[in-house]
Amino acid sequence: MPARPVHSLRAFFKARPLHDVEHAFLEREFGQSLALERLRIAGGGHPFGRLGWQPMAARIQLSDHCFEDSDPAQPVRKERWPVLAHEALHVWQRVHRHHRLGVSVDGVLLGVARGRAAYLYDRELTDPALLLREFLRGNIEQQGQMFEDYVRSNVTVPEARDARFEQIAQYVRQKRVRKVV
């Protein structure tokens, strides 16, 4: 019997609201800075095989295997919360205008011009204020990667808590923020 495709077309068209556990997680990480009731999640994956992407204003598209039982109707698995947070940060960037031409346009241009290098940032920074400054100056994918790394180190593996991301997390949780760099 052939394996179930990672990118199911049917799941692509079946966006759903957040499950309670997803809502609680994102509310804790974004506070009141993001209208979570508008957010929708779907399976079906990315056309080029990435784990997730954020193709429209309040929609997050994840690969089917990011969900419990590989079923997009089920909650996102906790070990995939960093990817969910990365994509939710792109929604946050739209709301707070942390982009140049638009999140989707910036993402395509970065992908074409820089590929995986678009996600790189100075991981040697240990000063929380300097890391926040790097976040504010970063492109949309660098910001997404920093937030994903924050979630990975402070949420999914709390014993590996990394305090250098705390100012970024506080900044994102603010109800009204505007990029000032």
Angstrom distance (rounded) from CA 35 to CA 91: 10
Residue 181 included in any domain: no
Residue 154 included in any domain: yes
- What pLDDT, on a 0 to 100 scale, did the predictor assign at position 109? 62
Residue 21 included in any domain: yes
- What pLDDT, on a 0 to 100 scale, did the predictor assign at position 180? 44
Residue 1 included in any domain: no
Residue 59 included in any domain: yes
- What pLDDT, on a 0 to 100 scale, did the predictor assign at position 3? 42
Residue 69 included in any domain: yes
- What pLDDT, on a 0 to 100 scale, did the predictor assign at position 148? 94
Range of the domain at 163: 9-173
**Which structure tokens are listed for 147?**
């937030």
Residue 4 included in any domain: no
Residue 86 included in any domain: yes
Number of structural domains in the chain: 1
pTM to 2 decimal places = 0.83
Report residues of the chain scoring pLDDT below 50.
Answer: 1-7, 180-181
Query: What's the half-sphere exposure (Cβ side, CA atoms, 13 Å) at 11?
Result: 25
